[in-house]
Structures are given as structure tokens and as C-alpha cells.
Chain A
Amino acid sequence: MKTVAGIDIGNSTTEVCIGAFDDRGKLNFLSSASTRTTGTKGTPDNVRGIRTALEAAVQKTGTPRVYPEILLLNEAAPVIGDTAMETITETIIMESSMIGHNPSTPAGVGQAVGEIIGIEHLSQAIQGRDYIVTVPERISYEAAAELLNAVQGMVSVTGAILQRDEAVLVYNRLRRKIPILDEVAKLSQIPEHKQAAVEVALPGQTIHMLSNPYGIATLLNLDAEETRQVMPIAKSLIGKRSAVVIKTPGGNVRENVLPAGEIYISGDSEQTVSIDAGAESIMAAVHEAGTVRDIAGQENSNVGHMLRRIKGGMKNVSGQAESSIRITDILAVDTLAPVQISGALAGETCMEKAVGVAAMVKTSQLPMREIADRLQAELGIEVRVAGVEAVMASMGAMTTPGTKLPLAILDMGGGSTDAALVTEEGRVAVTHQAGAGELVTMLIQTELGLHSRITAERIKRYPLAKVESLFHIRLESGEIRFFEEPLSPRFFGSVVLLEPEEMVRIEEDLTLEQIVDVRRGAKKKVFITNALRALEIVAPEHNLRRVPNVVLVGGSAEDFEIPEMLLEELANYRVLCGRGNIRRTEGPRNAVATGLVMSWWSE
């Protein structure tokens, strides 16, 4: 009998599988374990993680414990992925010409037009003119209502803008009702004596006059040229529940196109494409370039920094000259990012166009032998470096019930999406594509405007629920779950993530539906695009329809919805696709480690 351990060092996890061969070569799997990879994949720092995982696997072999006699390390694919974001547009409010936001409780409904005046200057108001009154923080709702009621009949006040959250309180005390907007933080920056239009939407609706250029023209008497100029204002007010537009001569809302970097692709042909052309043009250029030799970015642009950073990272890992390190693929995805508008008076944000980019760097080889030597010295067990990652993964994937050759695997990790296709004769085609779980996380963070990457990562992994009372929550599937003990008031009314051990509150003011949309959209943008790209490369004659069955493996295959999305998409090509179940027990994990153990006997 011979006991063998297969060890797979991935970008994020290190997997171990222990198996024993009897004298006739019959393999019996004993145990497996997984732990976080220590250090960058392919560096001697990995040894610590390997030992932890190995120890855990040995513990699980039962009594008496079985120690492996040979360790097999995979020849890890020498690829590292990284991501970056380039915002393409920015919105600037000139001369405080606009307020548009969603205070939770504005008051009154409809539109009003008038000249801006501070409430303390009402005595200087001129009869026969209409006014919109601004009320600073230091004036209480009672005082404000009293002042406004006092001038009723003498001064025509058509609307009000409050700094505090007291719109309803003022409104309820007014004898003549007007639309009121509140929670405008930088009230003092609103210019006096300018014409302005105020709009508060009906409950449950959004504004319709100020989000329409002709609506603004109607209220503020604009000519054709001025109406053209308010277009960006109208556009940025779409979807708001309340808004103010101020007519200032130089005032405007401008959408700038930021100087985003260019990407230079050298392949069968040379291609140059600007990031601000959008994802479609970038991906077309990548496709046009044919087999990519290397990709570089413009100096001093985000994308330039990112591409340089990942090359530097690989240089440190592999210890090879920079000239032998090349970026062989990028994936660009269009996205929208809520960015705070500069010059905003109430913290307004605007959805700016952005492009998310994942890149992948490749070198000739990782220094696996170094890790093997270190491990051998520390443990006193023979360590071999054996087998190409994709081939091992395919062998492991074959242990999934219901599979046969020819077989394709899609290994969806954190940094890259890899595909391999094994024919009946045992020939293997392999590809590595940039973009996987980490790009999804970045898209979720950007599109939802989340402060923390960790929150985005959790949103990617766990389903959501809405806390509807202290005793029950509604899951995103619509199901209700009850609790015997009341939940903490912190959770009340919030959207929460259902993690295995606990509930985590989403701090940002987002609805469950918004988060679900963004989460599913991000997964589709990255994984469907990449699955199709990768399978097309390894497919016979690059024809997707000739791909046999596909087994999904790797960390992102454990996701609770990605495998179903791919199954649905690939069904269009009549390709059978599903989450792997390695050795009937491991799910999509442990494929490479399992393949390594299996490969030992045949050598």
C-alpha cells in the first residue's frame, strides 16, 4: 500500500486530498481539507498554509492516523489576475444651480416658482413677486411657520427649502400650503435673488417637471438655447422625489468626459483602444488582435498603473525578468458608479459611466520546485512537482457522477476563469481568461457605491433578506422566517445578509431589489462573458456547440446562483453544464488535489 497526498495551491485556497493505493493500484480516498493560501500563490510563503491543510487532512483519516508517504504539488498555472476601475464621466454643478435629492419626508406636492430669499430677509420682500424661502438650521420649525404665516397675504411665498429634517412639521403649521424640501445640508450656498423652481413629487412617485428640459423651460421661462443647456440638469434629476433648479447665468450642470487611459494590445495585429470607448470596443479590439502577446496601458492612467502593478507582482513572485512577464488577456465590463457630484448642496450623487477591467499576467513558470524543497526539508517526506493544473482538474472533475470523456471543465476562481477540454484520446486544450470572482466583487462595490470591499464580497456570497419586524424576516425568495426571540433593533427595517452563523446589516440605504439586481448583473457580466469566451477557445473548431458536457469547478462554482446562470445560458448551445461534485462528496472543490492523487499510479 502507498499513501499519497495531492496539494493544490490556488489564488485564495490551498486544497489537500489524501488517498491510498493498494498493491493492485486500486485507489481509496481517505480524506481532504482546505485552508486559506498563505502568501501569494507560487511563493515559499505557501508552505505554512500547506502544512495547516495537510495536518487537517491527516487528522481526518481516522484512527490510527495515516501519514502520506509522498506529497504531490501541482504545477500551478502561472497566472495572476487583478482588477481596476476607470470612471469616464464626472458631473459638476456650476454656481449651485441645482438641488435634487431624496429626503425621507419632504412635504406638500407640486411645483412652485419664485425668487430665492432667506427667511430672515422676508421683510425686504417686494409685493407682487413670488418667493421661495430658505430656512437655515438655527430657525426652529415653529419660528419658521410663524414667520411664514405672518407674511401671508402680504408676501407671496410659493415654496420653501429647509436645512433641517422638518418639512412636515413646518407644512402642518402653515395656513397656506406650499411644497417644502428639507435636509439640504449646504443651504447657505444657495444664491439669493435668483429665480428658482421647486418640485416635490406625489407620494410613491418621482418628480416629472424638473426632470424634463421642457418642464424646466416652462417653469423658468427659458428660450431654446437655455433649454438645451439645462439638459444635463434634467437628466441628473431623473428619479428624484424632490428637487430645486436655480436659474443662474453661468450656472449649469456639466458632464465632463474624463481623460481615461488608452490600452495598447500587441498580438497578431497591433491595436490601440481608449478606455472611454467602453467595454464593447475594448473587447472588440482584444478579439481583433488575435493571439495576444502583451498588453500595456497609457502612462499615468488608472489602467496603466493597474497593468504595471500586476506585472510587478508577478515579477516578485517568479523572480523572472520583466521582459518574460506578459499580460495575455483583459476583460472589460461597462458599469455605472454613483459618484458624489462636485458642487452638490445636499450630497447628491450621479450615476457616472465607468469601465471595470480585469487583467491577467502570465509567465513561463512559477518556482514550484522551491516550495517543494522547503516542504521536503521541513516534513522529511518526498515531495514531487507533478502535473499541469488544468489536466489535474479535469481528472478530478471526472470523478463527478454522470460525466464521461470528452469533457470540458470551467474552473472559476478569484482571479481568472480557466477552461480545459479533454478529448477521448486524452488530448487537452487549455485557456486562461482574465476576470472572475474578484471582478464581480469590484463591480458590486462600484455599482452600489459601497464603502467597503468586504461588504461587496459578502453581498456576492450570501443571499439577502428584509427584516420586516423584530420577529420575522422576508428572504429574497419571498419566504418568511420567524424568530422566537426578538432580533436586535439594529436590524429593524434593514436589508441583511444571511451568513451561515449570523445576520449582517447592510449599512447603505439600498433596497433589497437594487442589491439583487446589481449582484446578479455583475455575475452575469463576468461569468457568462468569460464562460463563452473560454469555452469557444478550447472547443473543437472553436464551435461552442461542439463542446461536450461542462463541469464547473473552483471557488466561484460554489456560488449559490452562478452555476444556474451558466446552465441556463449554455442550454442555448445545447451544452450540458453543472456544478461538479468531486468524488461524489466534495462539491466543486478539491478537483486538482484529487486529480493529483489519481495521476500518481499512472506514472
Chain B
Amino acid sequence: MQTNKPAVHLYTVDETLPAIREICAGMEEEGVPWKILRMDGTARGLAYRAATDSVLESGIGLTAGEVALQMRKVAEDRPLFVFADPTAEQYRMIGANAARAVKKKRFVTVQAG
């Protein structure tokens, strides 16, 4: 990592995944900056690393069918949120909550798709 600006980190196995658009919309509406990196791993593992690397201590891990949200110092196997085959609303919610973790605002919830 050359520079580490304050941002939520989104680590994904594939930065062309359409889900990224929804996740980022969630963060954008909350007004928190983010940074996307391509990396191999599971959603949980990626989220854990993303949160560890993020100056804002909030990270998202995204694979083709799974997404996880993590905050720094929380155990890798206990992500704050994790969804398999998420709906568009759940992706948006993960983005919003990654931002809300930074803003210290309570998390929003959506009905399971």
C-alpha cells in the first residue's frame, strides 16, 4: 500500500462485479470515501483484511456470491454482516453500514431478500 488515505476499503475478487455499484451507492449517499482493491480470498477473509488496512477501520469483502462487512479488531470469523446471494437492497445496505460504522451511527437493516 503506497498511500493510505482515510477510506472504507472494499476488497473484491473481481472489480467488474455489478454489485460494486450498489455497495458504493450506499457509501456515497452516506458521504464516506472508499477505495477498491482486487484481491483473492473469501468474503470474510477479504473483509477482515480490508478493515485491518482501512484508516477508518471499516472494510467490505466481496466475492461473486457473498459479501461481508467487518470492523477492525473484530475476529475474522465473526463479521458484522454477511450475506450469501445478496439482493440489491442488501448490497446497498452493506455499503451504507460500512459508512455508518465510520460515522458511529446505528446500522440500518433490510428484510432478508
Contact = CB atoms under 8 A, between A and B. Distances in A.
A493 B104 contact: yes
B64 interface: no
A602 to B, nearest CB: 60
B40 interface: no
Interface in A138-191: 141, 165-169, 172
A492 B101 contact: yes
A470 interface: yes
B108 to A, nearest CB: 9
Given A470-B71, A486-B73, A492-B101, A168 B28 contact: yes
Nearest to A505: B106
Interface string B1-31: 0000000000000000000000001001111
Which of B71, B100, B103 neighbours the largest number of chain A CB atoms within 10 Å of its CB? Answer: B71
A91 interface: no
B105 A493 contact: yes
A34 to B, nearest CB: 37
Interface in A480-507: 486, 489-490, 492-494
Nearest to A495: B106
A105 interface: yes
Given A105-B31, A493-B100, A141 B25 contact: yes
A169 B106 contact: no
Contacts of A172: 28
Interface in A260-280: none
A492 B74 CA distance: 13
A55 interface: no
B39 interface: no
Contacts of B29: 105, 165-169
B55 interface: no
B75 to A, nearest CB: 8
B73 A494 contact: no
B47 to A, nearest CB: 13
Interface in B41-63: none
A200 B28 CA distance: 19
A468 B104 CA distance: 6
A31 interface: no
A217 to B, nearest CB: 33
Interface residues of B, number: 19
Contacts of B81: 489
B71 A168 contact: no
Interface in B68-108: 71, 73-75, 78, 80-81, 100-101, 103-107
B29 to A, nearest CB: 5
A492 B106 contact: yes
A56 to B, nearest CB: 41
A166 B89 CA distance: 13
A258 to B, nearest CB: 35
Contacts of A141: 25
Contacts of A492: 80, 101, 104, 106-107
| Residue of B28, B29, B74, B104 with most partner-chain A CB within 10 A | B29
A469 interface: yes
A493 B31 CA distance: 17
Given A489-B80, A493-B105, A470 B31 contact: no
20 contacts: A104-B105, A105-B30, A105-B31, A168-B30, A169-B28, A169-B29, A172-B28, A470-B71, A486-B73, A486-B74, A486-B78, A489-B80, A489-B107, A490-B107, A492-B101, A492-B104, A492-B106, A492-B107, A493-B104, A493-B107
A471 interface: yes
B70 to A, nearest CB: 10
Given A486-B78, A489-B80, A493-B100, A168 B106 contact: no
3 nearest A-B pairs in the assembled complex, by CB-CB distance: A493-B106, A489-B80, A168-B29
Contacts of B73: 470-471, 486
Interface string A114-153: 0000000000000000000000000001000000000000
Residue of B71, B80, B106 ringed by the most chain A CB atoms within 10 A: B106
B74 A470 contact: yes
A140 B15 CA distance: 22
A471 B72 CA distance: 11
A306 B61 CA distance: 58
Given A165-B29, A471-B73, A490-B107, 14 more contacts: A167-B29, A168-B29, A168-B30, A168-B31, A468-B104, A489-B81, A492-B104, A492-B107, A493-B100, A493-B103, A493-B105, A493-B106, A493-B107, A494-B106
A169 B105 CA distance: 19
Nearest to A486: B74
A512 to B, nearest CB: 12
A108 to B, nearest CB: 12
Nearest to B25: A169
Nearest to B31: A168
Highest count of chain B CB atoms <10 Å: which of A105, A471, A492: A492
A492 B75 CA distance: 16
Nearest to B24: A169
A169 B29 CA distance: 5
Contacts of B74: 470, 486
A168 B28 CA distance: 7
A168 B27 CA distance: 10
A167 B75 CA distance: 35
Nearest to B71: A470
Interface string A456-480: 0000000000001111000000000
Interface centre among A105, A166, A167, A489 (most CB of B within 10 A): A489
A164 to B, nearest CB: 9
A141 B28 CA distance: 12
Contacts of B105: 104, 493
Nearest to B21: A142
